[in-house]
Structures are given as structure tokens and as C-alpha cells.
Amino acid sequence: MKAVFTAILFFTHLAASGQTRIAGRVTGAAGEGIPMANIILENTYDGTSADAEGNFQFMTTETGTQTLVVKVMGYKEYRHAVNLDGKPVTVAVQLEEAINELEAVTISAGAFTASDESRRTVFKAIDIATTAGATADIASALNTLPGTQKVGESGRLFVRGGDDSETRTFIDGMVVLDAYSPSAPNTPSRGRFLPFMFKGTSFSTGGYSAEYGQALSSALALDSKDQAESTRTDIGILSVGGDVAHTQAWDGGSAAGKLQYTNLRPYMGLIDQRIDWNNAPASLEGIAAFRQKVGTDAIVKFYGNMNHSDFSLYQHDIDDSSTKYYYRLQNDYQYMNGFYKDILNENWLVRGGVSYTRAQNNMTYDNRHGLETEKGIHAKTVLEGSLSDHVEIKTGTEVISRDYAWAADSAGSSLSQGFHEVLAAGFAEADLYASNKFVTRAGGRLEYNNLTRQLSIDPRLSLAYKVGAHGQVSFAYGRFRQTAKNQYVRVNQDLDPEKAQHYILNYQMMVSDRTFRVETYYKRYTDLVKYINGDANQLKNAGKGYAKGIELFWRDNKSLRGVDYWVSYSYLDTKRDYLNFPYKVVPAFASKHNLSVVGKYFVQAIKCQLGATWSYTTGRPYNNPNTDAFNGGKTPAYVDLSLNLAYLPRPSVIIYFSCTNLLGRNNIFGYEYSTVQNAEGIYNSRPVRQAASRLAFIGIFITLSKDRSVNQLPSL
């Protein structure tokens, strides 16, 4: 027995003497211990796990040079060669955090994001179509978000103290000239592009990417849909017209076309109008799209939009309403866009395209005639990808060439003005991930303008830090420039571009389909167009101004079953000294407080979608020449309650109804004044109001397809 015991001790000692002890500690970049890391010798069963402080040790009988591998979720794999000769081995393991695209912090200052599904998408087509009061208009739906001001007589996007010209629209990164349909004086216009053509809408209210130029306040980026999945025909029977669309799909591609006719004349004849229409607006629009995959990783897209519209009316004199003037506008518009994207490898892709815009307004006012034409071509190429897990790069070049011409004649005299502008630009920016919690985006935009013969550099900087699992803080700074409006450049082609600097601080929390966001900003304007001695034919870049404010946003489509709602509030403090302003004052389009509450409820039992939007805006300033203070007047508050309803009697049939300003409130947007005083020395006035107290719309939408459950609800 003693001999057996002695043998066991001998062989145990022999085995132990052939083992090597490996120990160490696993830490992060800041020296903190990382628990539960897996440590193993490659291609063996020898290893262990780190304890709560990151410490580990284990024994191995392996000899020679071996590879120690350390793995833990959220960090890059660690590999280290160790020499095993029986002597204890101590290893200090410092892990580098892996950048996870789904978990990493994102830039949110100024850039509205609504879901993890698409970091750049704030609204999908169905969001726009089902927002009450928007009547499927992109700009109207975005006017329910913070940062925008309700300007009811325009209907366009006015962002953070900027006018409607300061928001620029892009389709697949390509610029759109004249993105709104024409409208009668003091009546709202609509965006030219229907939401169903796009898979996502990104709305940046400031601090946006260096890729986007020529926009002082905001960039509206529309991403067109990829190839359609099925062949279908859609028919719309509307109270103001009708449309028919067909989509043909095949393996790897699709083509779609739509023809829409809109005629408001029968409707205007039934509903009392505050406008003396001669012929209410009517339009004919054609839309075409083609998508084709090329190879395994590339796609080619073509998009076209053509529209003809016209209307005529009588404008009545303020002092004598029996005196009226004839006004007619005919508009012809074409927009074409070609886009290409190819994934070069797992880290890099290239995209680019060319767009062409032509817009022509043929105007008649009493015995005067005017013709305005703008044509432009935009070409862009962008390369983007990753240099490493910590560095992402986007760089590109673009050229925008446009021609503008204005011709007018009256009583035998004529006037023609115009210009040819070429903008050449290069841009680059890098996202630098220090960790999943902190990212810096730094870049700039280099631009040359042939009219001013100036080369400019505009820096852009954004920072974001993740606070907890669901919240983050972001900061953004940028300098932006934009060529002055056509009506001013045609008078003085030497005008410098107008400029703005943005400073934005943002906190955003997103969890379980709920979004909370608060943002504050300061924007400084310089080189705004200013009249010399009040003369609109003598211009200089002497204007300036500022805008600052705070905004709140809450969206929740989780707490209440079948309910999606959001609440947005904006506070705006802004003043400008530009154009004919005698000193710095609040411009007429700016309102101090803006509040929107939007709700949507889908009743599954009766297959019905209900929507409601309540909007409130404090009064806007206007200039009363009967008082000494410039822009010293204040309109009443704007209040609007709008409803809509979509009912599906069959899966492929939708009955849709909407009504704006349901309560019939008499909203006033400002006042127009006579140019001469009456006998009492007073300038007569009249209010600028809605063309009608309410706008009601009803439509029946039918889809013909092999799958009879397909309908148009996502694209109304």
C-alpha cells in the first residue's frame, strides 16, 4: 500500500512539473477590470474565465509558443503569443472596445431621427399620408415637428427663424430647384413630390452634413424607393380629380408610372371662397420611376416628374373693392434624376448621380406680362466607407450649373435680366469613434462660385456622447452659405452669398418605440441682402440677424395599443435687419411659440385609421404704416384642428376623408395695406386669411394586383 501511495505522488509531481501557470488581468482602455472574459489557448481545451475584477489564472501542459486568445462581448478579440517552458507566465490584457453599428452613439443634434430602423429617417410615406391636416404633403407633415413655424398663407417650410428659401430639398442626394408647386397670392402651396415615391424622409433643422450646401437653415433629404416587389395597378377617384398608376416588377428591377389630374374648379364653385377666382387651379402631372439591380451589389435608379398647372383670378383694390386686376399664372415644370450606387467591398461604396430641373412661370398681371425661367444641372459623386472600426469617411465632389432669366413687358417697354451661375464644391468629413459612447464628426466644404469669383471653406463639427443605455447628448457647429434669391441676384450679380453659423445642443432618449428630445440652438446671420436707401434696385450684403430657441419633442407608439402620437413645441426668438427693414426686428413669418399634437389610432375591429392634429401658434408681427413702430402689429393666434379617416371595406380598397380647420376658425396671417392714404390720412387695410374656412377632401383608392390584400394606405 505504501508503495502504491508513493507511486501516485511520484506521477502527480511528474505531471505538475510539466505544467505552466498562466495568469493575468483583463482591463479596458481606462484600466477598469473586465469581468467574464473568456481566455483560452488557441486550438486547445485549456483556459478559464476572468473573475469580477478581470483577474484570471489557469494551468496548461502545452509547451512551446502558443497563442493566447481573449474574447468578451463588446470588445475586439485579443491575441497574444506566449512562450510556455514551465515558468509562470503573466499577461496584462488590455482590450479595445469594438464599435457596434447598432449600439454606437449617433449624431442627433439638428438631425431628426425617429427609429433604429433607419438612422436618417424621421417620416415614412405612411407617416405623412396619415398625419391629419397634411393632406399627404411632405412639408405640411414636417410642419408638425419642432423647429418649424406655421406660415398658413405659404404652406412651406420655415425653419428656426429662416424663410422658406433657406430650406433646400434633395432627392437621393441631388438638389431640387423649385420644390413647391405654384400657388395664388396668400394661398398655401404644396410640395411637388408625392411621399409614396420615397422610402424615407430625413429632415435636418441645422448642423447638417458637409455633403449638403446652398442651404442656410435646413436640408430635406428624400430617399427614393428601391425596386418594387410586385406588379400592381392603382386607381384613385378623388373629389378634386383622379389618378392612375401602374408598377411592373421583375427579378432585380421594376418600372412605375403615374398620371394625375387635379381640378379644383368644381370644388371651388361649391365652397365659398375669399378669392375671386376666374379659373381655379388645375394641373396635369406625370411621374415615372425605373429601378434595376446591376450585378450583385449595384443599383441604378431613374426618376422623373413633369407638371403643367395654371390658374387665374381677380385681385381687388384695397381702397375700392369694385376695382379689380386680372392675374394669371401658368407653370411648366420638369425634374429628372439619375442615381447609381455600388458596393465596392465590405468597407466601401460609391454613389452619385445627375439631376436636371426646368421651371417656367408665365405670368400676366393686368396689362403686364412676365416670363421667368430657371434651368439647372447638378452632378455629384460620393465615396464613403470605413478606414477602420473607429474611422468612417465620406468625401465627394459636385457641380451645380444653373441659368436664370426674367423678362417683363408693359405698355411697350420691356426689361430682361438673368445670370448664369456655376458652383463647384468638394466636401469631406470623418466620423471618429473613440468608443461606442463617443463619436466626433469633423469635416468641411470647399466651394467656388463663378459669379463672385470666390473660394470659400465652411467647417462642420458634431460631437455625440451616449448617456446610459438609451440616451445621448450631441453638439453641432457649422458655417453655411447660400446664394441670394434669384430676384436679387438678377439685379446685382456681384452679391456675396448669405451666411449663417449654427450652434446646437441636443439631448435625445429612445427606448421601446418612445422618443424624447430637447434641443437648444443659436444661429447667427451675416451678409444678408439689404436695400440701399430703401431702393430694391440697389442691393448690398449689409444685413444681419440672429435666431435662438429651445424645442421639445415626444413620440410614443408603444404605450397605448394601436395609438401613435407625438407632441412638439418650439420657442423662437429671432430678429433681422435686412431688405427694407429700418432696424433689427422680428420678421413677419416668425412666431414665438409653436405647438403641435398629432394622434393616430387604428381600430382593428372595423379596419379604420383615425387621425387628428391640433396646432397652435402665437401671433406673428406685421407692419402697420399707420404707426411709428416697424413690424409693430401682432396677428391673433393661429389655431387649427384637423381630422382624417381611412376606412378599408376590402383589403385592396380604401375610402379616405380629411378635413382641415374643422372648427372653422377665422385665422388671420397678416394685413395688406394701401400704398396711399385716404382722406383722413390713414392707410386702408384688409386681413390676409385662408381662402376658405375649411378644406375637405374625399377619395377612393383601388389597387389591382395578384395579392388582393395590397392597398395604397402607405402611399396616399
Question: Is 670 in contact with 688 (CB distance < 8 Å)?
Answer: yes
Q: Which long-range contacts (CB under 8 A, 24 or more apart) does 127-130 make?
A: 128/195, 128/201, 129/195, 129/196, 129/713, 129/714, 129/715, 129/716, 130/600, 130/609, 130/611, 130/644, 130/646, 130/713, 130/716
Question: Would the CA dihedral through 295, 299, 302, 303 be positive or negative?
Answer: positive
- Closest residue by Cα to residue 215 from 172, 175, 168: 168
| Residue 521 near residue 160, CB atoms below 8 Å | yes
Kindly give the pairing relationship between strand 55-60 and strand 47-49: unpaired
Three-class SS of 200-229: EEEEECCCCCCCCCCCCCEEEEEEECCCCC
| Local confidence band at 106 (pLDDT 50, 70, 90 cut-offs) | low
The three-state (H, E, C) secondary structure of 18-47, written as one string: CCEEEEEEEECCCCCECCCCEEEECCCCCE
| Banded pLDDT at 272 (limits 50, 70, 90) | confident
Q: Are 557 and 524 within 8 A, CB to CB?
A: no
Torsion sign over Cα 56, 62, 64, 67: negative
* Structure confidence at residue 227 (pLDDT): 82
Amino acid in position 125: A
- pLDDT, residue 715, reads 47
Burial 557-581 (b: 16+ CB within 10 A, else e): beeeeeebbbbbbbebebbbbbeeb
Report DSSP letters for 446-499, one per residue.
EEEETTTTEEEEEEEEEEEEEETTTEEEEEEEEEEEEPPPHHHHTT-TTPPPEE
Distance, in Å, from the CA atom of 287 to the CA atom of 138, rounded to the nearest integer, reads 17
SS3 (DSSP) at 164: helix
Q: Is 417 exposed, middle or buried (0-12, 13-18, 19+ CB in 10 A)?
A: middle
List, in sequence order, every residue forming a beta bridge with 502; answer none if it has no partner.
Answer: 478, 523
In this predicted structure, the answer to whether residue 27 has a pLDDT above a threshold of 80 is: yes
CATH number of 125-715: 2.40.170.20
pLDDT of residue 75: 80
Q: How far apart are CA 359 and CA 72, in angstroms?
A: 59
φ/ψ of 77, rounded to 5, equals: -65, 140
Find where cell 453599428 sits: 101
Residues of the chain with CATH 2.40.170.20: 125-715
Average pLDDT over residues 65-79: 86
C-alpha cell at 326: 386680372
Most confident of 179-188, 212-221, 419-428: 419-428
- Closest-CA residue to 28 (of 37, 40, 18, 19): 37
Work out the percent of the chain whose per-residue pLDDT is above 90: 59
User: 27-36 burial, b for 16+ CB within 10 Å, e for fewer?
Assistant: bbeeeeebee
Q: Of 545, 543, 526, nearest to 579 (Cα)?
A: 543
Which region among 69-78, 245-254, 373-382, 460-469 has the lowest average model confidence (pLDDT)?
69-78
pTM attached to this predicted model = 0.84
- Binned at pLDDT 50, 70 and 90, residue 18 comes out as low
Question: With pLDDT > 70 as the criterion, what percentage of the chain qualifies?
Answer: 92
Residue 306 dihedral angles phi and psi, to the nearest 5°: -130, 135
The pLDDT of residue 709 is 57
CA angle 693, 697, 700 (to 5 degrees): 170
pLDDT digits (tens, 9 = 90+) for 469-528: 888 899 999 999 999 999 999 999 999 999 999 999 999 998 888 889 999 999 999 999
- Binned at pLDDT 50, 70 and 90, residue 186 comes out as confident
Q: Over the stretch 423-476, which tens digit does the pLDDT of each residue have? A: 999 999 999 988 878 889 999 999 999 999 999 999 999 998 989 888 889 999
User: C-alpha distances in angstroms, 715 versus 125, 306, 337?
Assistant: 6, 19, 21
Instruction: Tell me the fold of 2-94.
Output: Immunoglobulin-like (2.60.40)
Outline which parts of the chain fall under CATH 2.60.40.10: 2-94
Average pLDDT, the chain: 88
Nearest to 539 by CA among 576, 608, 491: 491
Alpha carbons 529 and 579: distance in angstroms, whole number: 6
